[in-house]
Amino acid sequence: MAAKVSTECVVLSNGVKMPILGLGTSHHGGFSQSAVVYALRDCGIRLIDTAKRYGCEEQLGTAIRQSGVPREQIFVTTKLWPLDYGYESTKTAFKESCKRLGVDYVDLYLIHWPDCPRGKGQDNRTIRAETWRALEDLHSKGLCRAIGVSNFLIPHLEQLIQDCTVVPHVNQVEYHPYQNPKDLIKFCQAHNITVEGYCPLAKGSALKEPAITAIATRYQKTPAQILIRWSIQNGIVTIPKSTKEERIRENCQVLDFELSENDMEYLNGLHADLHMSWNPADIP
């Protein structure tokens, strides 16, 4: 029996449809080729997130082909690492990512991090603007269906919007109940920037929150499903990461229920400005 495809999407500012639920990958053991095949073929996942930094683009491309799912049905995201920032080097890095992935285009290409290598001899704002100009060119040629940034805060976005022609379509940031940056999300919404959240389980720490486990019991769901549903219900594109088939299956079963307004308010109130991953607050 064919897997039921996760069809719930958000529409980016340029009209491109992006699945609201996907599969994240990473380095340090955060990638499994067989898990990606399983997510695509058996769970109906249609959004896969990766990056040059993770070192798994080639294996991801192989997994996509092994899944049997047509390329045009899969929303592929990859990211540009800071060592490749700059106009020409960005274009070169993009071509190399496409070659490793075995694709002619990507659905979303992101600037991975707001900080820039000091050896470039320019300030961060200038390098980010040059890099973004390359992404705009790639987008205009149809090589990226959408372009965006990752880990950018309001000051970084304000500068980039002043310097760019195309406003980022997506900002991918850490997002879970302990890191719910409401001001950043409001800023993105005001500029038609879709927010995508990684680390939705707070690297597992939120799974042990007594109130979250109690909510999960009431809904007959797991704590992970409650956390992922909370993100989605807040309108955040969500990319939980797992290399285990049973966890991937569990994480996908979140589109058939809704959290109550009271439960959403409670979870929204857990924000503690706590980063489990990178914190870009001190980057100019």
pLDDT in tens, 118-143: 666 689 999 999 999 999 999 999 99
- Mean pLDDT in residue range 68-78: 98
Q: What residues have CB less than 8 Å from 223, skipping those under 6 apart?
A: 206, 207, 208, 209, 212, 213, 216
* Strand residue runs (E) in the chain: 9-11, 17-19, 23-24, 47-49, 75-80, 106-111, 144-150, 170-174, 194-198, 237-238
- Mean pLDDT in residue range 16-27: 94
How far apart are alpha carbons 272 and 213 in whole angstroms? 19
State the Cα torsion 222-224-225-231 to the nearest 10°. 150
Is residue 271 marked as binding?
A: no
Asked if pLDDT for residue 199 goes beyond 90, the answer is yes
Domains of the chain, by residue range, sit at 9-268
Asked if pLDDT for residue 1 goes beyond 50, the answer is no
Catalytic residue list contains 54: yes
CATH of domain 9-268: 3.20.20.100
pLDDT band at 27 (very low <50, low <70, confident <90, very high): confident
| pLDDT of 111 | 99
What share of the chain in percent tops pLDDT 70? 96
How far apart are alpha carbons 83 and 88 in whole angstroms? 12
Tell me, rounded to whole angstroms, the distance of Cα 191 from its chain centroid.
18
Which of these is catalytic: 54, 175, 178, 198? 54
